[in-house]
Amino acid sequence: MTVSGQPKLAVGLFKRVDRPVVVAFGCIVALLLVGSLYSRSFLSPEYLLQQLKVASFLGVIATGTMIVILLGQIDLSVPWVVAVGGMMSTAATGWGPAGEALAIPVGIACGVALGLVNGFGVAYLRIPSMIITLAVNAVAQGLMVVHTGGFSPQDSSSPAMRTLATGDLVFGLPNALIVWAVVGAGAIFLLNRTTFGRAVYGIGNRERAAYLSGIDTQRIVLIAFAIAGGLSAFGGVLLAGYASKAAQGMGDSYLLPAIASVVLGGASILGGRGSYSGTIAGVILITLLQSILSVVQMPEAGRQIIYGVVIIAMLLLYGRESRAR
């Protein structure tokens, strides 16, 4: 019985393995080996810890992106929601001691507000997510230009923002990495252990069926976009803390990497399928890829082309798998 049962057990374990996640982690190992050919420091603990720290900012932003993609939607407002989070949190520090204490909540609250606009447009007005989020991105950009008068923001980040982004208070681990771990743990619990998470997957698989089963699909979509907006803004807060100040367009380089990180980890861009472990692998993979492209001095245009090709390839691969199912 034991011998005959071993092949069945092996087949069962193989089926449980999330193939895209395994492939993503395999690519991470390959990138590290390729990078080590250029510099031995690619395999040093210091370098790996630094890359995880850099990945943390993208990881926080990609967490919100994943929740929206699981719905079968897309959020194109990420660039300027990130900028709003960073710029409004640094602006709050100019309000005095109370402003410094409220800087982080103010930045996140502004992102949540923009996310609610996105969610309301998608859930209640039935505007395609691509259109409404692109419009909100443009509105956010205009608001920030008005806020700064078109000039670079002069406000600096608060001590708490700098501590979160650059400090290492626990066993030498970067605080940013710990923040990402907390955000990730919250996302895993939310998606796997709550009715909200099950509703997100249900809506992504078939929204009408989810509605007929009693799920308040409009409320779930609204909350999901609000969470995504808050996390994008929080990413902006961390970036402002890392640089000690905010900048216009500081989130422009995070839209495609955030989407690519999610789809690289196996999440279907059509919704309904994906795991957070895959997003973790995708974020680390994209971060290492960015590092190697910097070493070989790949221009920014070339990097954007690579991200676009990755998204198209994953859409073709996982999109066909979803239809086959």
Tell me the per-residue pLDDT of 252-311, one tens digit each, with 9 for 90 and over.
Answer: 989 989 998 998 888 888 888 889 999 999 999 899 888 888 777 778 788 778 777 776
Q: What is the pLDDT of residues 46-96, one digit of tens each?
A: 888 999 999 999 999 999 999 999 999 999 999 999 999 999 999 999 888
- DSSP assignment of 144-204 equals HHHHHTTSPP--B--HHHHHHHH---BTTB-HHHHHHHHHHHHHHHHHHHSHHHHHHHHHH
Distance CA 141, CA 116 (A): 17
Which letter does DSSP use for residue 17 in this model? S
Strand partners, 170: 173
The CA–CA distances, whole Å, from 50 to 54, 108, 254 equal: 6, 25, 18
Which two structure tokens, joined as six digits, stand for 218? 């409009």
Please state the separation of Cα 289 from the chain's center in Å: 16
What size, in residues, is the chain?
325
Most distant CA pair in the chain, distance: 76
Instruction: Report the first-to-last Cα separation within the chain, whole angstroms.
Output: 33
**For residues 285 and 31, is the Cβ–Cβ distance under 8 A?**
yes
Q: What is the pLDDT of residues 167-179, one digit of tens each?
A: 888 778 999 999 9
Is the pLDDT score of 136 beyond 50?
yes
Domain range list for the chain:
46-252
Distance CA 75, CA 118 (A): 8
Which two structure tokens, joined as six digits, stand for 197? 């998470």
Q: With CA atoms as reference, report the closest residue to 118 among 62, 79, 75.
A: 75
Which two structure tokens, joined as six digits, stand for 264? 């690289």
- Give the pLDDT confidence score for residue 10 in this predicted structure: 42
pTM tops 0.85: yes
